[in-house]
Each structure stands twice: as C-alpha cells, then as structure tokens.
Amino acid sequence: MTKIIKTVTELQTAVDGKRVGAVFTMGALHQGHAQLIKQCRETVGKDAIVVVTIFVNPTQFENNKDLEKYPRDLASDVEICEQNSADIVFAPTVDEIYPLKTLVKKIEPGEIANILEGASRPGHFAGVATVVNRLLEITKPSVTCFGEKDYQQLTIVREIVKELSIPVEVIGVETVRESDGLAMSSRNMRLSEEERALAPHLYDALNRVKAQLLENHPIEKAISSTIEWMADFPEIELDYLTVLSPSLGKPVPGLARVLVAARIGDVRLIDNIECELAVANV
C-alpha cells in the first residue's frame, strides 16, 4: 500500500540507505504520469523505493489565479500511484519545501529558459529549476523520470543536473496520447467540449511539419505552410511552431524537435515530436 508522507524529515527517514526512484508532479495525475511511475519502477527495480511527489509549486505560476485554479485531488492521485506500484506519495506543504525561503537555493537555468515557454512565462523555469533541485536534495534519487511532452522542462532539468553535478539519471519518457493524438495533460480537463475537439489539431500540425521535412522541404516552408493550414481554425491562438535541435539550439542535420504551443480558450497547450532533418531542410 502506498504511504502518504507530508514532512521532509519523515520522508528522509523512510528512504535513508535505500535506492530511490522519484517522479516529481503537481498532482492532477493521469495516464501520462502513470507511465512515468511505471518507467521509474522498471528502471530502479522492485527492491527500490519509488517516491511520487505531489506539490503545486507556487513559484512557477505567473499569477495567483492560475495557482488557485490548478486542480487538486490527492485521493485520486494516491489511487493512481498505488495502481502503478509507487511506495510513497510525498505531499508537502509550501513551508516544508521552502522553509524560511532564504535557506532554499534559487536556480537560474540560463538562456534556454528564455525561449519558447520562457518567452511567454517569464520566471517560470527559474521556479521549475529551483523546486526540482530542492526535491532532488530531499529525495536523493538514483533515477528520476520526466515526460517528453514538457520537452523544454526536461532539457532544463538535464542541464541543471549536469551543471550542479547531481548524481541522478534523468530519463525522458515518451508522451502518452489520447486516441486522437492529443497529448495527455492535466490542463485538458479545463477544455470545453468544443475546445477539446479542436485540441488534436496541435498534434496534426506537428505531423504536417514532420511529413514535409521528410520530403526535404526547408524548415521555413514546412512551418509557414502549416501555419497557413492552421488559419482554418481561428479558435486556436498559435504562440509558436518551430523546429530546433534536441538541445533546443539551432537545428542541424540529424535528429530534431518540432515544438508547438497555442491557447484554446483560456487553456494553454504544448506538444512536440521528434523528427529527422536532412541537409536540404536546414
């Protein structure tokens, strides 16, 4: 049975001397999170302890309204954790994570935090990097799993782990999708029926770009023609559609990422897929 722990002291006592796998979440768990837990368990082994943290981190929200609207259902979250063999749910208060605030080291993730999501949400990734570093300090895992849906977040976590020489393996887990291709996200539950019907077009847009790149169209042409296609859905307010390297730098021949972000109603959605670039594309 999954144990619920709410204090840092109790958690550290529970995992002391054990091999630990950790999955860091803000709750509102779905099958995408379930896949993270499964992958974590598979990687660390049956004799290790898998810890799932559920903490709605206030420092990564732009305003208090978004923070207040974030869905919270600990009982449902614990049920998903139990179903996927998590040993501990760590559900701390803000004061447990940020005691006397000044004692917590603030992490600035660098220039990669200022593009894509960072351009639209200033300070967001500093909040993410800071809380991830804090949770790594608390749980001391050998392995931690992050979803590829939040690809920029995954890339930043990998960078700070490398920069700070934190001894943990960061595993990226493939995006889990609904039957129509929509990437699973806690935000999807905020979509109206009409908005939900539009949302899969983001995945369609990614695949349109990828298909054109496979036909050796230049990146600019692949993106511009896809943006023209998306104009048929004016309810989708596109923020960005771009192709970057796996490290989110300038694209070069080889593997790359197609990334998209858009707002449908008052819900912001993101997605990405891997693609292959030929010399002709760049």
The pLDDT value recorded for residue 162 is 96
Question: Measured between alpha carbons, how far is 63 from 181 in angstroms, rounded to an integer?
Answer: 30
8-state DSSP, 63: S
Closest by Cα among 23, 33, 71 to 267: 71
Query: Which one of 173, 196, 214 terminates a domain?
Result: 173
Domain containing 267 — which CATH number? Answer: 3.30.1300.10
pLDDT (tens, 9 = 90+) of the chain, 282 residues, equals: 899 999 999 999 999 999 999 999 999 999 999 999 999 999 999 999 999 999 999 888 777 777 777 778 899 999 999 999 999 999 999 999 998 766 688 899 989 999 999 999 888 999 999 999 999 999 999 999 999 999 999 999 999 999 999 999 999 999 999 999 999 999 999 999 999 999 999 999 999 999 999 999 999 999 999 999 999 999 999 999 999 999 999 999 999 999 999 999 999 999 999 999 999 899
Task: Determine the residue type at 64.
Answer: N
Q: How many CA atoms lie within 13 A of 29 on its CB side?
A: 27
Indicate whether 179 belongs to any domain.
no
The pLDDT value recorded for residue 167 is 97
Longest CA pairwise span in the chain (Å): 57
User: For residue 70, how many other CB atoms are within 10 A of its CB?
Assistant: 16
Q: Hey, which residues are catalytic here?
A: 33
Q: Are residues 25 and 132 in the same domain?
A: yes
Residue 7 — φ and ψ, nearest 5°? -120, 150
Give the domain range for residue 220.
Answer: 186-275
Give me the residue label for tokens 């859905």: 233
Q: Are residues 7 and 92 in the same domain?
A: yes
The pLDDT value recorded for residue 62 is 74
Q: Are residues 120 and 210 in the same domain?
A: no
Q: Are residues 199 and 169 in the same domain?
A: no
